[in-house]
Structure formats: structure tokens, C-alpha cells
Amino acid sequence: MRLLVCGGAGFIGSNFVRLRLAEHGDEIVVLDKLTYAGRRENLEGLDVRLVHAGIEDAEAVAGALKGVDAIVNFAAETHVDRSIAEPGAFVTTHAVGTWVLLEAARERAVRYVQVSTDEVYGSIEEGSFTESSPLAPSSPYSATKAGADLLVSSYFHTYGLPALICRGSNNYGPRQYPEKLIPLMVLNALHGDTLPVYGDGMQVRNWLYVEDFARAIGHVLAHGAPGEAYNVGGPDECPNIDVVRRVIELTGADESLLEYVTDRPGHDRRYSLGSEKVRALGWEARVRFADGLEQTVAWYRDNRAWWEPIRSGDYMEYYRRQYGRALG
Ligand code: NAD
Ligand code: DAU
């Protein structure tokens, strides 16, 4: 296929691009704003064309879309804590940016896949969300992602755009920006920095290895029904404190680094997705959390050149603001 992958220089997008090139030989154009989270290095050595622009830039989008069969949109501001501190960019990218992409897709009648999140359903104490569960987002991040999902659905209902939505649970794996729980804990543990656990650490996340999510998006792109949403949950759920303790074991860090800190405002307690619908398309998660976490820790150990420039740049300033202390 000839694909336009928006946000393809980020964590999941670049893993998706790698998988598609290796397993499908697609022709790929990446359109990415290269925010703090988008990195050219993530696409190094890959046969893709990179257009450096935001999805809200209609002219750049129209140019990048020439000759393309389908759009897969990963482009987003993705960190919940940043959305609490400064929600503006979340509104622009998720609402305006998604609208611009949908208009461009409508004009050319191309298939459109919106990459979304389990957070649009909000928190669930027991059981799992299905695709028909009501949307009840808690943070500015998830509220603007839910808004984008509704806009995508409206383009199917109103204009007949062949648009689909793929909602994933918490991803982890290589090339994840270290503001997120797992890479943050791994890098802090490797450096002897404290490991900041929010609240009581008993919040539960449903962990999905990034390659499994990338493969699921491919299934939805190829076999999903227009107008439908598909949940993609990981095979294992785990309280945060257990994730952090396992990182301590895998890195050989000292347990005294663990520190309970002030909770995230409006913190969702538990996410859980039922994935029967995407399974019916032939998808199955391949990586269990225990194995994937071990591989991920090994990847960060072996790829200093990837994260060293991040730990010495704007990230240090962000960390100081967010956690009220400097990294060592
Ligand atoms: P990421 O932050 O690593 O990457 C986001 C990418 O989008 C970056 O390359 C960034 O430069 C780009 N971007 C941001 N604003 C843009 C704009 N206006 N125009 C063009 N590009 C822009 O995020 P990720 O974790 O790879 O997430 C990718 C997608 O998957 C997001 O839509 C996110 O909501 C969704 N998602 C993430 C997870 C997760 O656990 N990380 C789980 C489910 C769904
Ligand atoms: O569920 C899918 C979502 O997963 C995606 O849509 C988001 O883009 C992605 O960022 C992620 O959101 P979370 O808020 O769940 O991920 P995060 O890595 O920020 O936090 C995971 C859990 O760990 C959460 O309960 C908060 C907690 N946490 C996080 C950080 C960064 C801590 O206890 N300490 C921390 O320092």
C-alpha cells in the first residue's frame, strides 16, 4: 500500500513504519511536526519520505497525500501530565489537526485510520470496556482524543468517509519518550535517580507491547469495517507499583530509590479493554508483559545513543518542573 503515516516519527508511529516496511513493503510518507516527542532518529535508515509539518497545516497535508491509498493518524500530544499543565496544544492537534486530515481524506475518498486510546472510556474498577461503552474521558488529553474520535465517526456518518478507529491500551517497548512510566523508571533506575510513584501506586494499566499494537492497526487498516471502532488491549494488567518493582529487579537498582509522590490530579484508577472485535479480524497479542518488559529494559540498556541526547536537553527542564527536583 501507499500510506501517509502522520506522527510516524514518534514512538508507536515509528514502530508501525518499521513493521510495515519489513512485513508489507509499503510505500510510506511520514508527516510529522517533530515536537519534543518526534525524532528523526526514530526513522534512521528507513526507506520513507519525511514531511516536516503539522497535521493542522492543510497545504502540507494536501501535498503529502498525493498518490496515497490510506492515512493512518498517530499524530498527537500524548502525555497526560503535560495536558494537565498546558492543555492548549492538545486542543489544536487533536481537534483542528484531525479535522484538517479528515477534510483532506474526504476530498480524495481515501481510507482513514485514527489511532486512539483506552483513556477515552475513562476509568473502570472491574470488567472491561467494549467498543459500545460510553466515552467518559477524565483528562484534557483523553477529552481531546475523545473529541477527535467523535469527529472521525461524524465523517463516516455524514460524508461516508471510510474511516475507522483503533483504541489501544498502554504501550511500551523501544523508542518510547522517557516521560512515560516504563522508560522513565528504567532510565532513572540506571542512573540511580529516585523512582517517583504517584499516589499509592495501585493504579492498574493494561500493558501492550508496541509491535503488537502496530500489527493490530495493520489488521484494522486491512480488514476493519468503515465506521467501526476496535479496542486493542494488552494480554496482562499490572498495578504501577509492581511494574516499578520489576524494573528495580531487572536493572539491579537499589529499592531505596522508590519514592511515593503526590498523585496526578484526576488520576484514572484502572483501564481495561475487551479486544474480541479485533481478534475476530485475526489479531492476537504475541508478547506477554513479563517478556516484553525484559526486552524493553535490555533495549534501553543497549541504546544509550538514543536516549542520551534526550536526558541532557529540554527533558531535564520538564522533569524539574513536573517533579520539583532535578535529575542527577
Ligand atoms: P509520541 O508522543 O511518541 O508521538 C507522537 C508523534 O506525533 C510525534 O512524532 C510528534 O512529533 C507527532 N505530532 C505531535 N503533534 C503533531 C502535529 N500537530 N502534527 C504532526 N505531528 C505531530 O506518541 P505515541 O505514544 O507514539 O502515540 C501515538 C498515538 O497513539 C497517539 O495518537 C496516542 O494518543 C495513541 N496511543 C498511545 C498509547 C501509548 O501508550 N503510548 C496507547 C494508545 C494510543
Ligand atoms: O492508556 C493509553 C495511554 O497510556 C495513552 O493514550 C497515553 O498516550 C500514554 O501516555 C499512556 O497514558 P498513562 O497516563 O496511562 O501513561 P503514563 O506512562 O504517563 O503513566 C502510567 C501510569 O503510571 C499512570 O497510572 C501514572 C503512573 N506514573 C506515571 C509517571 C510518569 C507514576 O506513578 N509515576 C510517573 O512518574
Tell me the per-residue pLDDT of 276-294, one tens digit each, with 9 for 90 and over. 999 999 999 999 999 999 9
Atom 1, ligand 1: which residue's CA is nearest?
10
Residues 103 and 58 sit within 8 Å (Cβ to Cβ) = yes
Pairing of strands 236-239, 204-209: antiparallel
Query: The domain that contains 145 carries what CATH number?
Result: 3.40.50.720
Per-residue DSSP letter, 43: G
Question: Count of domains in the chain?
Answer: 1
* 185 occurs within a structural domain: no
* 318 occurs within a structural domain: no
Q: Which amino acid is at 316?
A: M
Residues 111 and 70 sit within 8 Å (Cβ to Cβ) = yes
In the block, residue with C-alpha cell 536516549: 307
Q: Which helix (H) or strand (E) holds 215?
A: helix 210-223
Query: Mean pLDDT over all residues of the chain?
Result: 98
* 284 occurs within a structural domain: no
* 247 occurs within a structural domain: no
Q: What is the pLDDT of residues 168-215, one digit of tens each?
A: 999 999 999 999 999 999 999 999 999 999 999 999 999 999 999 999
pTM (2 d.p.): 0.99
Helix%, strand%, coil% for the chain, nearest 5: 45, 20, 35
Q: What is the pLDDT of residues 227-246, one digit of tens each?
A: 999 999 999 999 999 999 99
For ligand 1, the distance from its centroid to the CA atom of residue 254, given in whole angstroms, is 32
Q: Which helix (H) or strand (E) holds 23?
A: helix 11-24
pLDDT of residue 328 exceeding 90, the answer is: no
* Residues contacting ligand 2 via CB (< 6 Å): 78-80, 117-119, 169-170, 180-181, 184, 196-198, 203, 205, 240, 264, 271
pLDDT of 313 = 84
Return the ligand 1 atom nearest residue 36 CA. 11
Q: What is the pLDDT of residues 62-96, one digit of tens each?
A: 999 999 999 999 999 999 999 999 999 999 999 99
Domain that includes residue 47, residue range: 2-171+208-232
* 268 occurs within a structural domain: no
Question: E strands of 104-162, at which residues?
Answer: 111-117
